[in-house]
């Protein structure tokens, strides 16, 4: 958990989808750099395990079960964070949903579930958090998007479209909230080895094919994504807003 590059002592961060995969890695990375971290997801056992890992290494953490598609639970998440820590400095909107379906097979309710989690919930939670950041005269919001926002992938229409919308939402939030000192950026991973993406890498032949399309020659690991998030949350990125950093092993160069 230790990190010699960034120091978030005294900062409070919320990480959505923090129970596994990229969100877990980000939560551990922030905590390891001194931040007090609120880890939230829908599965209590997962966030409690992450909280245990952070506490065992001396970090301060608050696990909160949240269904991001329920506005009242978003409000409770923010209220509880303020009650316990008194402020919110960093919000990482990492939680996401996807269905591997063609446009002809995808049902309307599936499309709605993807957009409700990947776009609407980000807007609602960011708006709630921004009100406190305005009072604090600043903050950082980092949205996790994907290379799929830039290139069409078969079976990923709803996911890719939602993440493309999130990229523009990132820019809109950055534009509107810049006068308040709130910097909003995004990080876009390539295929990363998580439970979320398991169907795309669990088959050795398919994984080999996918890796061959990445110039660096491998699928990303969750820890590969953490550095970009820490950078954007840090003072080193104090004049960067409205941008997307793709952590993709060169995927978008092909």
Two tokens, residue 79: 């209220």
The Cα diameter of the chain in Å comes to 52
Question: Which residues, in sequence order, are bridge partners of residue 140?
Answer: 90, 183
The helix (H) or strand (E) run that includes residue 16 is strand 12-16
Query: Known catalytic residue: 159?
Result: yes
Q: How far apart are CA 9 and CA 128, in angstroms?
A: 23
Catalytic residue among 6, 159, 177, 246: 159
- How much of the chain is helix, strand and coil, in % rounded to 5? 50, 15, 35
Q: Are 197 and 225 spatial neighbours (Cβ–Cβ below 8 Å)?
A: no
Question: Which residues, in sequence order, are bridge partners of residue 186?
Answer: 143, 244
Residue 106 phi, psi (nearest 5): -65, 130
Q: Are 161 and 98 spatial neighbours (Cβ–Cβ below 8 Å)?
A: no
DSSP state of 61: E
Two tokens, residue 180: 């308040």
Question: Which residues, in sequence order, are bridge partners of residue 61?
Answer: 37
Q: Which residues contact 67 (CB under 8 A, 6 or more apart)?
A: 42, 73
Q: How far apart are CA 138 and CA 129, in angstroms?
A: 11
Catalytic residues: 159
């Amino acid at each position: 958990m230790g990190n010699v590059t960034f120091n978030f002592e005294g900062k409070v961060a919320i990480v959505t989808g923090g129970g596994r995969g990229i969100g877990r890695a980000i939560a551990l990375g922030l905590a390891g750099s001194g931040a007090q971290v609120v880890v939230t997801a829908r599965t209590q056992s997962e966030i409690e395990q992450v909280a245990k890992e952070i506490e065992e290494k001396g970090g301060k953490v608050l696990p909160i079960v949240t269904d991001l598609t329920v506005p009242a639970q978003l409000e409770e998440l923010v209220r509880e964070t303020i009650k316990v820590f008194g402020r919110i400095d960093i919000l990482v909107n990492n939680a996401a949903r996807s269905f591997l379906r063609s446009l002809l097979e995808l049902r309307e309710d599936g499309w709605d579930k993807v957009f409700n989690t990947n776009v609407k919930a980000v807007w609602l939670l960011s708006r709630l958090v921004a009100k406190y950041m305005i009072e604090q005269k600043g903050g950082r919001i980092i949205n996790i998007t994907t290379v799929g926002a830039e290139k069409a992938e078969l079976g990923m229409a709803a996911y890719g479209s939602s993440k493309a919308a999130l990229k523009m939402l990132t820019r809109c939030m950055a534009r509107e909230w810049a006068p308040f000192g709130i910097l909003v950026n995004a990080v876009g991973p390539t295929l990363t080895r998580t439970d979320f993406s398991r169907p795309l890498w669990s088959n050795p032949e398919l994984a080999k094919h996918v890796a061959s399309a990445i110039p660096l020659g491998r699928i990303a690991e969750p820890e590969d994504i953490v550095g970009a998030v820490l950078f954007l949350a840090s003072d080193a990125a104090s004049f960067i807003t409205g941008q997307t950093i793709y952590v993709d092993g060169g995927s978008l160069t092909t």
